[in-house]
Structure 1
Amino acid sequence: MSKKIHFAFFGTPQFSANILSTLEKNGFSPDLVIAAPDKPVGRKHTITPPATKVWAQNRQIPVLQPKTLKDDAFKIELKKYTPKGGWDVFIVAAYAKLIPRDVFDIPKAKTLNVHPSLLPKLRGPSPIQSAILTENETGVTIMQIDEELDHGPTVAIKKVNINDWPIKLSKLEEILAEEGGKLLSSVLPDWVSGKIQAQPQDHSRATFTSKLTTADGLLNLKDNPADNIRKIMALSERSGAFFYTEHPKGSGKKIRVNVKDARLENGELLITSVVPEGRKEMSWDDFKRGFLP
C-alpha cells in the first residue's frame, strides 16, 4: 500500500470542490481545507458557506477560513493541523488570493496549483470565461506556485477536447475540474517523491485575463453572431449577457433583457429564452410578442 500523501487544499468555489471529489475518487484526501470566509448570497443576503467547506464538513475534514494568509495568526492555526511528519505538499485551486512565499514554501514538495488553461496562455482571474470568449481550445495545467500570478514552472499540461465549442461556463467548469483532478492525481505521487521536475513556462507567450464586469456582458444583437454566442456562453450564468430594448408601454424607458439561452444555427444567433427586467424567464417567441414592435 502506498504511503498517504499529507496535503492541505486551498480553494473555495464549486470548481474547487469538484477537484476535491476527483482527487478523492483517486485515493487522495486532504488533511485540511482552507477556504474563503462565508459570505452573503442572493437578494436576502443569506450567509452561505463556500462549496469546499461544505465538501470538507461532510467528510469531517477540518476547515480554516482566514481573512488573510499574511499574518502570524493564520500560520499559528495552520501549525495546529500539521501532520506528525509534516506537510508533503499544498494544493491550490481557485483560492482567489495569492499564497505568500512563507506559506507556499512550508511543505516538503512545495505548493501546486490546478490552473484551468493551457499555460502560459490565459493567466489571471478568469481563464475559463476568457477561453470561451477568445479561444478555440483550452485545457488544464498543474504548476508549481511562485510569487507571481500563474507564473511558476509547469508539472503537467493537458489539452481537453470539447465538442460543440463554445459551451456554457458551468459545463466547461465541470469538465476542467474533473480533468484537472485526474491530471493532478496522475502526477502527485511522483511529484511528492521527487521523480519529476517542473519545467519553466515560456513567458514570451504569456497572455493575461482580467476580472470580468457586468459591462462585459452587454450585447449588440447586430454584432457578429459568433461573438455574441461566446458572450452568452461565458457570461449568462454569472454577471449576465444582456441587451436593452424599449419599454413595451412606449414610455421611452429602456429595459434590460438578460439572455439565458441561445444557439448558433446556420451562422445565425437564435435566442431561445430571456428574462426581461422585472419579469420571469420566458421564451424568445413570447418575448417578441410582448416586447418587440
Structure 2
Amino acid sequence: MIGPPLRVALAESVTALPQGTGWAYEPKFDGHRLILFADGHRVRLQARSGRLVTTAFPDLAEAARQLPDGTVLDGEVVVWADGRIDFSAVQQRAAATRAHATHLARTLPASYAAFDLLADRGEDCRALPYEERRARLVRILEPLGPPLQAVPMTTDRDLALTWYETLPATGIEGLVVKRLDGAYRGGTRAWLKLRHSDTRDAVVVGFTGGRARPQALVLVLPGDGTPVVSSPLTPALRTAAGAALPEAKGEGTAVAIGIGEVTYAALPAAPPVTVEVRQNTTRHATAVVVRFR
C-alpha cells in the first residue's frame, strides 16, 4: 500500500491542443489538489505540498470510507456555489482549523473531482497506462456518486475544444491532456495543460532587475491604469528586452502576484514601448509577456 507523502504528477503549459490520436482530455477544475488515501476506516488527505489536511475536510474523509480498502486517488477539491466553482470557498475550507472544519463542512460542502487512480485495493497502479487507470477509477466511483466523482474525460479532440470554449463560466480553468498509454509519473511534467487566457497589448512602464536582462516587466494593461508586474521573462525575452528598453528615469512601485509590492525602474513616457501579453482568466490573473511589438 503506497502512502503519504506522495509526489504528484504535474502538467506543462501549452498554447494549443496536441494533434494526432492517443490523447485523453479532461476539464481542469479550479480547486485544491488533493491525494486521497483510503485504507479501511483510516482515511488520509494529502495536499500537493505533502502536508496532511485530513482534519480540514471531514465530509470528504467520511465519504472516502466507502471506498475499497487500499484505494489511492488524485484529484481536486472544489466547492460549488450558484452553479460554478467558488475558489474562495475552497480556500476557506483548506485553511479551517479542526474546530471550525465541521461547521464549514455543513455550510460549504466540498466535492472531490478525481482524475487519476494511483492504487486499487492495495495494488500500485502508477505504472499502468492511463487508459486502464481511468477505467478502474470509473468502476470504483460510479456506484458511489457525490461527493466523490470522476472528472469527465473524452478522447474526442473536437468535444474537448467545445468544453474549452463553453465551460469557463462554471469555473473550469481549461483542459488537462494525457497520453492514453502514459504512466503516472510523480514529480514530472508528463501531462499538458491548456488554460484560458486573453491576449492583448500592454504598455511597458518599467522593469525589475537589470536593464540589459530584466527579470520582469511592469505593465499598464488596457482599461487599467494600475501598473502590474509580469510573470518572469523567458531567457529569449530577457535578451529582447535589453535591446528594446530605454534607460530608466526614476523608480516606482507595483504589485507582483504572490509577492506583493515591489520597487521597479521606471521608463520615460515617450516613446512608448508595447508588448503583447497573455493574461490568464483564472484566479491568478498573471500577465505573461509573449513578444515585443
- Structure 2 length-normalised TM: 0.24
Higher relative contact order (CA 8 A, sep 6+): 2
- Structure 1 length-normalised TM: 0.24
Structure number having the greater helix percentage: 1
Structure number having the greater strand percentage: 2
